[in-house]
Amino acid sequence: MTPHDVPACPPTCTPTARQVPDPSSGPTARRTGPCVALATVCLLLAPMASAQTAGGHAGHGTPAAPPATGATTAPEWVPGEVRRVDRENRKVTLRHGEIRSLQMPPMTMVFEVRDPALLDGLQPGKRIRFAAEEVKGAYVVTAVEPAQ
pTM for this prediction: 0.52
- 78-146 has which fold? OB fold (Dihydrolipoamide Acetyltransferase, E2P) (2.40.50)
pLDDT at 54: 47
The answer to whether the beta carbons of residues 143 and 129 sit under 8 Å apart is: no
More confident residue, 58 or 75: 75
Confidence of residue 75 (pLDDT cuts 50, 70, 90): confident
CA distance 97 to 127: 12
Note the Cα 35 to chain centre separation in Å: 32
CA distance 34 to 128: 61
pLDDT at 126: 97
Residue among 114, 108, 113 nearest 96 (CA): 108
Specify the pairing of strand 138-146 against strand 107-113: parallel
pLDDT at 60: 45
CB-CB neighbours of 146 under 10 Å: 9
- Report domain extents, the chain: 3-55, 78-146
The residues, any chain, with a CB within 8 Å of residue 83's CB and separated by 6 or more, are 93, 94, 95, 108, 124
CA distance 75 to 114: 14
